[in-house]
Amino acid sequence: MTDQMYIKTNVTNVPNERGYYGEFGGRFVPETIIPALDELEEAYAEAMADPEFHQELAYLQRTYTGRPTPITHAKRLSEYLGGAQIYLKREDLAHTGAHKINNALGQGLLAKRMGKKRIIAETGAGQHGVGTATAMALLGLDCHVYMGSVDIARQQPNVFRMKLLGANVIPVESGSKTLKDAINEAMRDWVTNVETTFYLLGSALGPHPYPMIVRDFQSVIGTEAREQIQEMTGRLPDVCMACVGGGSNAIGLFHAFRDDEDVELIGIEAGGHGIESGEHASRFSDFDISRPGILHGTRSYVMQNSDGQIMETHSVSAGLDYPSVGPEHAHLRSLERAFYTMATDEEALEAFQKLSKLEGIIPALESSHAVAEVIKRAPKMPKDSVILVNLSGRGDKDLDTVIGILGQ
Ligand SMILES: *Cc1c(COP(=O)(O)O)cnc(C)c1O
């Protein structure tokens, strides 16, 4: 076997039966959770083998989410940058305005199939909470969302949305009263109520089989996009780009292209105030404070100090503001199948305004990080080359943040 074949096998056939992506992933959880993860893994395998499950999900994607989402040729942006042709995969047009609904509906259907009527989730800024509450309202499941009390105070509109959608929002008062404390509480709830309760995880993170399940439910993005871009341009893109928080929208796009060796895959992390400042969430750019470790049940790159204490991260976009990253991204990076870079808050804000003015599309601040990399890279590429960028969400939710910064 040549080296290249070895790499290809490893890109394609992950995770292995123990949930590893190379040296990343796995299950680092209390013993009491293992049976629940086994049960989930088994139910998921059964669902995947059942054509009825796929039909039901496809039906909801078509009639509720509004799939397939289109691809837009960003002609004016392409012209303005004077290089590559830029194509946007429009997850901002999915119901609720972002890709998170793809995963929430998939896991919701799985929970129903498993006979679990009580759904728990955690949320930071509230986007995963809103996505979950939406899908649970549709499916008629009982939804409880853990949220740090600091986040509740900061994100009132999303708290109200969740309540309107029928979810019970549970304030978390422990630790820093933010996302990581909410995750801990949700895990504790799951251990206690595992018989009746389904834990709906929001990104390609957590113990096996979650990173695989979330990837698979998000891979509809790449599967659609791969077909659409060939229809529109007659070929595969030169580059695929997506922003990387936990990594679900990026892996959802990358997965369909993993075996297309000529298609470059680029993930963009949150550079915050710049790498030198230490105030960012670039797990793959700053190896003084980021190295392999364990967080929330999986082994991946984690931002931590020399004692292994998890670092505070910063990003203008809540969705990218997380100290670890999905294990499959760590794996793709170590194989050099995917490359990772970052955009600062400032660059993202500039991209946010550029895309709004030139295309009439206000992107989410998360997605603006990917657009910022397009702005850097497209001018250096030939005019007949193609960049496919995932627009993970729309920017309406970010207007208050942007007004707060640009208003000054
Ligand atoms: C949550 C979110 C992200 C980041 O999450 P991933 O799991 O990395 O995709 C990116 N964009 C939007 C619009 C989001 O809501």
Tens of pLDDT along 251-302? 999 999 999 999 999 999 999 999 999 999 999 999 999 999 999 999 999 9
Pocket lining: 91 vs ligand 1, CB cutoff 6 Å? no
The answer to whether residue 122 is catalytic is: yes
Boundary residue ending a domain (199, 215, 231): 215
Is 86 in the same domain as 133? no
- What is the DSSP code string of 110-154? HHHHTT--EEEEEESSSHHHHHHHHHHHHHT-EEEEEEEHHHHHH
The range of the structural domain enclosing residue 58 comes to 3-65+100-215
Q: Which of 100, 180, 354, 397 is catalytic?
A: 100
Query: Is the beta carbon of 364 within 6 A of some atom in ligand 1?
Result: yes
For the Cβ of 211 lying below 6 angstroms from any atom of ligand 1, the answer is no
Domain end position, chosen among 215, 246, 269: 215
Do 48 and 112 lie in one domain? The reply is: yes
Cα 242 to ligand 1 centroid, rounded to whole Å: 10
Is residue 324 within 8 Å of residue 296, measured between CB atoms? yes
State the Cα–Cα distance between residues 243 and 299, nearest whole angstrom: 21
Catalytic residue among 122, 224, 347, 359: 122
Could you tell me if 319 and 269 lie in one domain?
Answer: yes
Could you identify the atom of ligand 1 that is nearest to the CA of residue 128?
Answer: 1
Q: Which pLDDT score, from 0 to 100, does residue 337 have?
A: 97
What pLDDT shows up at residue 325? 98
* Distance (Å, whole) CA 286 – CA 199: 32
Q: Which residues contact 23 (CB under 8 A, 6 or more apart)?
A: 292, 299, 331, 334
- Based on the domain organization, do 52 and 148 belong to the same domain? yes
Please name the residues in contact with 335: beta carbons below 8 A apart, sequence gap of 6 or more.
7, 10, 11, 22
- Give which of 373, 386, 379, 374 is closest to 257, Cα–Cα: 386
Verify cis geometry, omega within 30 degrees of 0, for the bond prior to 68.
Answer: yes
- 203 alpha carbon – ligand 1 mean position (Å): 8
146 and 295 within one domain: no
**The dihedral formed by the CA atoms of 356, 362, 363 and 364, expressed in degrees to the nearest 10:** 130
Same domain, 142 and 262: no
Low-confidence ranges of the chain (pLDDT < 70): 1-10, 408
Report the pLDDT value the prediction gives residue 180, as an integer from 0 to 100: 84
Instruction: Give yes or no: residues 117 and 37 share one domain.
Output: yes
Helices (H) and strands (E) in the chain, counts: 16, 14
243 lines ligand 1 (CB under 6 A): yes
Query: Alpha-carbon distance 150 to 124, whole Å?
Result: 10
Task: Return mean pLDDT, the chain.
Answer: 95
Residue 87 to residue 130: CA distance in whole angstroms: 28
DSSP β-bridge partners for residue 300: 293
Q: Are residues 176 and 278 in the same domain?
A: no
- Would the CB of 247 count as within 6 Å of ligand 1? yes
What's the confidence (pLDDT) of residue 341? 98
Verify whether ligand 1 is closer than 6 Å to residue 348 (CB atom): no
- Rounded CA gap, 292 and 174, in Å? 26
Domain co-membership, 211 together with 237: no
What per-residue confidence (pLDDT) applies to 408? 65
Q: Which residues pair with 89 in a beta bridge?
A: 71, 390
pLDDT confidence of residue 154: 85
The reply to whether 187 and 251 lie within a common domain is: no
pLDDT at 125: 87
Ranges assigned E (strand) in 196-314? 197-199, 239-243, 264-272, 290-295, 298-303
Dist. CA 199–CA 189, nearest whole Å:
9
The CATH number of the domain holding residue 201 is 3.40.50.1100
> Tell me, what's the pLDDT at 178?
87
Q: Do 172 and 318 reside in the same domain of the chain?
A: no
Residue 40 Cα to ligand 1 midpoint, Å, equals 24
DSSP annotation of 378 reads G
Report the length, in residues, of the chain.
408
Which is nearest to 398 in space by CA: 336, 332, 315, 311? 315
Q: Does ligand 1 have an atom closer than 6 angstroms to the CB of 393?
A: yes
Cβ 269 under 6 angstroms from ligand 1: no
How far does residue 319's CA lie from ligand 1's centre (Å)? 5
Q: Output the CA 245–ligand 1 centroid distance in Å.
A: 6
Which tens digit of pLDDT belongs to each residue from 129-179?
Answer: 999 999 999 999 999 999 999 999 988 999 999 999 999 999 999 988 988
> What's the CA-to-centroid distance between 317 and ligand 1, angstroms?
9
User: 242 — phi, psi (to 5°)?
Assistant: -160, 150
Whether 178 and 247 map to the same domain: the answer is no
Structure tokens at 402: 């942007």
C-beta neighbour count of 199 within 10 angstroms? 24
Q: Which of 191, 215, 239 is the last residue of a domain?
A: 215
Count up the domains in the chain and report the number.
2
If one residue of 88, 128, 203 were mutated to test the ligand 1 pocket, choosing by the most ligand atoms within 8 A of its CB, it would be 203
| pTM of the shown model | 0.96
Q: From CA 236, how far away is CA 190, in angstroms rounded?
A: 43
